[in-house]
Structure 1
Amino acid sequence: MLNGNAASQIPINDRGLMLGDGFFTTIQIREGHLQLWPEHWSRIEECCQRLRLPLPHEEGLLTRLHGMASDQSRACIKLVLTRGSGGRGYSPLGCDQPNEMIGVFPFPLHYLTWRQQGVALGICKQRLGSSPMLAGLKTLNRLEQVLLKAELDESGLDEAVVLNTAGQVIEAVTANLFWRRDCVLYTPDLSLMGVRGVMRAWVLKQVARLGYDHAVVQAPLSSLLQADEVFMTNALMEVVPVTGIDDVEYPDHAFARQLQSLLAAPSHS
């Protein structure tokens, strides 16, 4: 769907295609319901504000999304907003008609297995660079993740830890990372790079109610390797226990299982 109408093509001069000038969010559909909509809407608001894009009307957007989700038992919706066409070179002047693209895609069923069995991680050789203007946002500029995923494909790994150039833990290739030591939950500081996922935001809201403290940290790999428990999150995989990183094993998945139980309840949708 393009701007509310059925479509399978976009204009060749769309700035999202030409310049990566836009952002996206991917929403899990379960029994026709959009999961974690408040967190997705917060992402949309922040991305529009920081990228200087017009904010869509929430009620109208929800009507369009629900129209595509209502007959889906398990799927995902990708919502892409671009600045549209126009401007001269990089300049956004004269771009007054953004493009909204909505598509429905199959749910990655291997995530269901990951949730139950967990997944082992490696450590990526490639490092993330600092990008404070875009840090935290799910922009259309995902070439770092494309190259990191190519590294995973070549290595045969399912997922891996990604560090920055200073050797600090930032995220996994397609997910946010959390680790627990005793009753404190840690997650990386994403103020200079990385993506602040909607499931990450949801998890941070649950920490206190489950009796834990949390800290957003700039931490070396050694901090992650010394954890009692590690898990990763994104909007589709939800909460996935990490069984090990290289030769370090994590048999304790207590906090991840508590979060999974909360997510199984209908009240979070």
Structure 2
Amino acid sequence: MMARMLINGVASAHVSALDRGLAYGDGLFESIRLVGTTAPLWQRHMQRLMQGCERLRIPSPDPVQCWREALEVSRDMPDAVVRLTLTRGSGERGYAMPASPTPTRVVAAFPPPHVDRDIQAQGMCMRTCAIRLAEQPLLAGLKHLNRLEQVLARAEWDDPAIAEGVLCDSHDRVISATMANLFAVVDGVLLTPALDRCGVAGVARAEVLAAACPQAQVGELTLAALLGASEVFLSSSVRGILPVRSLDERSYAPGAATRQAQQHWRNLGFSMEQGG
């Protein structure tokens, strides 16, 4: 199925070659899971987008307009992933920000990815990636357009049995998977890595933290601690709550924390069988 796309509210598949999103990765994006005409995490997506716009000094879009366009591009799709991309727009050559930017807004709908029932039930196999995420506190947490580290990480393997990779920083602190946030039960405590140095603060991660509060904690997670965890799962606004069955030579089994997070996901209105 071809993606349905609106650019600044107009049906099109083309942006200017001078757009700063293309030239410099100067922008943000949200990948939003829709179930029919509802988006259970819409408010969290909009909150992160607005916070990102403030930090990058990009004029914020109108959430009501974004919602109308999301419904338009996903019309008649029982399930969809809507990607909302916002760039600073076109400008003169050079890194200096335009004095009065005119952002480019791209809203596109895609079919959701398929996630095997076996993965939902028993978990996925993962590996530790060799690439290390660079630390940049000014960009930490944002879902900005530069995903080159993730692209290079995903290029490290082609084994179809490996579904994801663990990304660490230069100090061997675990940050995330390539396309999801990560939770681990360490010494009986549900822990997710702090993202104040690098990484993307996912909306599904925020939802899991809110649902598990005050038991869940945010803090430093070393690779050694992750390998010693009793259970591990990933959170993704698109793919949902995904148990981890193995990491390199270490095996895990989905436990109570994973199953509770999956049940909360279903309670939000997402169907696990639909991939997220």
Asked whether the two chains share a fold, i.e. TM above 0.5, the reply is yes
Shift of 1:68: 2.2
Q: 1 or 2, which has the higher helix percentage?
A: 1
> Equivalent residue for 2:85?
80
* Partner Cα separation in structure 2 for residue 38 and residue 112 of structure 1: 28
Cα gap change, 1:154 to 1:227, in 2 (>3 Å): closer
The one of 10, 14, 36 equivalent to 1:31 is 36
Shift of 1:88: 4.1
> Equivalent residue for 1:185?
190
My pick for the range that moved more, 113-122 or 79-88, is: 113-122
Q: Which amino acid aligns with 1:44?
A: L
> Equivalent residue for 2:255?
253
Deviations 1:194-232, CA, capped at 9 Å, x for gaps:
111110011000013xxx612211221111111111001
Cα gap change, 1:129 to 1:103, in 2 (>3 Å): same
Asked if structure 1 preserves the Cα contact closer than 8 Å seen for 2:123 and 2:254, the reply is no
Any residues of structure 2 matched to 1:1-269 within 5 Å, and which? Answer: 1-110=6-115, 113-153=118-158, 157-181=162-186, 183-208=188-213, 213-266=215-268
Asked if structure 2 preserves the Cα contact closer than 8 Å seen for 1:87 and 1:94, the reply is no
Gaps of 5+ in 2: 1-5, 272-276
* Partner Cα separation in structure 2 for residue 164 and residue 91 of structure 1: 29
Q: Could you say what secondary structure the match of 1:41 adopts?
A: helix
Shift of 1:99: 0.5
* Partner Cα separation in structure 1 for residue 83 and residue 12 of structure 2: 14
My pick for the range that moved more, 85-94 or 144-153, is: 85-94
Shift of 1:65: 1.3
Shift of 1:157: 2.4
Deviations 1:159-211, CA, capped at 9 Å, x for gaps:
11111111111111111110013542101111010111110011000013xxx
* Partner Cα separation in structure 1 for residue 116 and residue 167 of structure 2: 20
Asked if structure 2 preserves the Cα contact closer than 8 Å seen for 1:123 and 1:161, the reply is yes
My pick for the range that moved more, 99-108 or 110-119, is: 110-119
Normalising to structure 2: TM-score of the pair? 0.90
Normalising to structure 1: TM-score of the pair? 0.93
Q: Could you say what secondary structure the match of 1:23 adopts?
A: strand
* Partner Cα separation in structure 2 for residue 155 and residue 62 of structure 1: 36
Deviations 1:224-250, CA, capped at 9 Å, x for gaps:
111111001111111000111122211
* Partner Cα separation in structure 2 for residue 117 and residue 6 of structure 1: 42
* Partner Cα separation in structure 1 for residue 120 and residue 160 of structure 2: 22
May I ask how many residue pairs the two structures share in their alignment?
266
My pick for the range that moved more, 125-134 or 193-202, is: 125-134
Gaps of 5+ in 1: none
* Partner Cα separation in structure 2 for residue 181 and residue 140 of structure 1: 32
Q: Percent identity?
A: 38
Shift of 1:59: 1.6
Q: Which amino acid aligns with 2:208?
A: V
* Partner Cα separation in structure 2 for residue 174 and residue 264 of structure 1: 21
My pick for the range that moved more, 97-106 or 57-66, is: 57-66
Deviations 1:79-120, CA, capped at 9 Å, x for gaps:
000000014400112342110001111211136553233101
